[in-house]
Amino acid sequence: MERQDWLDAKIDKEGIDKLVSTYAPHWDIWGSCQYQTAAGFCRLVVDARRTLSWEEAGEALGFRLTHSGVREDALANLRAEIVSDSKDCPWREEPNVENIQSISGAFEFLRKSAGDLWGAAPFVAKACFKDLEVEAQDSPGFGPKLNVLVQSENYRVGLFCALLLDHKLVGDETPFIGFDT
């Protein structure tokens, strides 16, 4: 869409849900069908950001995102957060984070550590951005009640992924693919 089309759209919740499905038409877009709306919302936000500021995109798509910039030491901070997080699990060894050479590499590490994207995307984004705050409406879900509950986070997860893409902390969607659910 053109800039003015985005600004004039004032898309309601139902309209956003329909738009998201057009940006992720296949159920296994990021590996699991449970991440379909996360992938769709990420792509929708990336598309909107081609012509809109973050604030304008948020107004058009019903979210709010603020931060104080990318941390200069984002990768070092992310490594430290992974080590700190592992200390909450006394049965786990301290992870060897020296092998993590990029933000994409951190996603790979988290994926191999039996993480899910619902945990990995906000964890990585919050380690990379200062004072990050995100608000977005719940996304639709399907299946058993627990699946629907977890999938309600998908628009927020998609927003974290779009932010990482927008700031070129990851090169493409590859780091988001293949997580367990």
- 124 against 142, higher pLDDT: 124
What pLDDT score does 176 carry? 96
C-alpha 8: how far from its chain's center?
26
pTM over 0.75: yes
Structural domain boundaries in the chain: 3-176
- For 28-84, the pLDDT digits (tens) are 678 887 888 999 999 999 999 999 999 999 999 999 999 999 999 999 999 999 998
